[in-house]
Amino acid sequence: MKKSRLPMVLLGVGLAFLYLPIVLLVVYSFNDNRSLTVWTGASLRWYHELIQDGQMLEAAWLSLRIAFATACGAVVLGTLAGLMLARFGAFRGRALFAGMISAPLVMPEVIMGLALLLLFVSAEQLIGWPAGRGVLTIVLAHITFTMSFVAVVIQSRLVSMDVSLEEAAMDLGARPAKVFFVITLPIIAPAIVSGWLLAFTLSLDDLVITSFVSGPGSTTLPMIVFSSIRLGLKPEINALATIVVAVVATGIGLAGFLEARRARIREREESQAGRV
């Protein structure tokens, strides 16, 4: 059957659509001009202004700390949730649980943000905790919406995993907890790492939910970026974007390299095992 070239051409056009804006941001971050559209010469002027913006740096540091705490919490809860959905069969309240874990994937953020804020305000009125809004409430809110994404990643890995190893361990008398820590956890470790990174990125990037649940003194990086670009274009943001893109590209490149090396080693070991 002759294969049409059309989809491949459209894929190329689509990828150009996805990447062109990002490439433009990166290129213009080195432009020595405020206008953003006229190229006047290469310079690192905006990077210089960015690192001198104390408010921005402080917010970035806060965002990184929140993202770290969020990712650690979300990866624990999300892994357990993925395990429940993939391995626990039917338990009481499974339908409600499945609904609650997948709803945040699509729930509009304004609704989630408002609902969580009202929860924190009501809880403070009732039991005096959490006292005021700040880093703690942001982390709690972020864990709630990112754990769903982690659960999806973990669950799909568990469903595609070969269960015979777990079964063998259980046949040999290992307790479920031991099976999980000795067999399952090492196998799904790459999925856990990507779940952690996904939660970290989502938390680092969130504006809407954060704005609802943050308090005075807990202004995150997206909040600063949003309020400054709302008033117009700011070239420092291009420099910031370029740094983000560089970090992400390095991370993904590194992950791809490690994955490829792992695959090569596995292939070699398998072929050696085959010879024996």
Partner 1 sequence: MPVPPPSAAPQPSAVPPSVAPRTLKDRVLRVTRRLGLTGRGGVILGPYAWLVLFFFIPFLIVLKISVAEPAVGIPPFTKLIEWVDGGLDVHIRFSGFQALFDDDLYVLAYLNSLKIAFVSTLCCLFIGYPMAYAIATAPEKRRGPLLMLIILPFWTSFLIRVYAWMSILKDEGLLNNLLLSLGIIHEPLKILYTDLAVYIGITYSYLPFMILPLYATLEKMDHTLLEAAADLGAKPWKAFLTITLPLSLPGIVAGSLLVFIPAVGEFVIPSLLGGSDTLMIGRELWNLFFNSRDWPSASAVAIALLAFLVGPIMIFQHFQGRDQDKGAAR
Q: Does 42 bind partner 1 (CB under 8 A)?
A: no
Residue number with CB closer to partner 1 (135 or 208): 208
In the complex, the smallest distance separating the C-beta of residue 227 from partner 1, rounded to whole angstroms, is: 11
Rounded distance between C-alpha atoms, residue 180 and residue 161, angstroms = 13
Residue 205 burial class via C-beta count within 10 angstroms: exposed 0-12, middle 13-18, buried 19 and up: middle
- CB-wise, 126 or 273, nearer to partner 1? 126
Crossing angle, helix 54-87 and helix 94-106, to 10 degrees? 150
Among 37, 128, 162, 275, binds partner 1 (CB under 8 A): 37
Contact criterion met (CB below 8 Å) for 67 and 141: no
| Least distance from partner 1 to the Cβ atom of residue 276, Å | 28
Strand blocks (E) in 103-166:
none
Site residue total, partner 1 (CB under 8 A): 100
Smallest gap, in angstroms, from Cβ of residue 79 to partner 1? Answer: 9
Structure tokens at 30: 């080195």
Beta bridge partners of 31: 42
Q: Taking CB under 8 A as the criterion, which residues in 215-274 touch partner 1?
A: 222, 225-226, 229-230, 233, 237, 240-241, 244-245, 248-249, 252, 256
The least CB distance from residue 139 to partner 1, in Å, is 11
Per CB under 8 A, contacts with partner 1 among 96-125 are 97-111, 114-116, 118-119, 121-122, 125
Q: What is the closest distance, in whole angstroms, from the C-beta atom of residue 275 to partner 1 in the complex? A: 25
The nearer residue to partner 1, 48 or 88, going by C-beta atoms, is 88
Choose, by CB under 8 A, the member of 75, 188, 204, 214 that binds partner 1: 204
Question: Binding to partner 1 (CB under 8 A): which residues in 63-92?
Answer: 77-78, 80-81, 83-91
Token look-up 């395990």 returns: 83
The answer to whether the beta carbons of residues 241 and 205 sit under 8 Å apart is no
Nearer CB in complex with partner 1: 42/168: 168
Span interacting with partner 1, options 6-14, 52-60, 185-193, 266-274, rule CB under 8 A: 6-14
Residue 42 in 3-state DSSP? strand
Question: Minimum CB separation from partner 1 for residue 7, in Å?
Answer: 4
Q: Which residue has the tokens 């960015």?
A: 50
The token pair at 91 is 């338990």
Q: How many helices, marked H, and strands, marked E, lie in the chain?
A: 12, 0
For residues 126-185, which are near partner 1 according to CB under 8 A?
A: 140-141, 143-144, 147, 151, 155-156, 158-159, 163, 166-167, 170, 173, 175-177
Bridge-partner residues for 42, per DSSP?
A: 31
The answer to whether residue 36 forms part of the interface with partner 1 (CB under 8 A) is yes
d(C-alpha 133, C-alpha 117), whole Å = 9
- Return d(Cα 247, Cα 203) in angstroms, integer: 16
Task: Name the 3-class secondary structure at 31.
Answer: strand
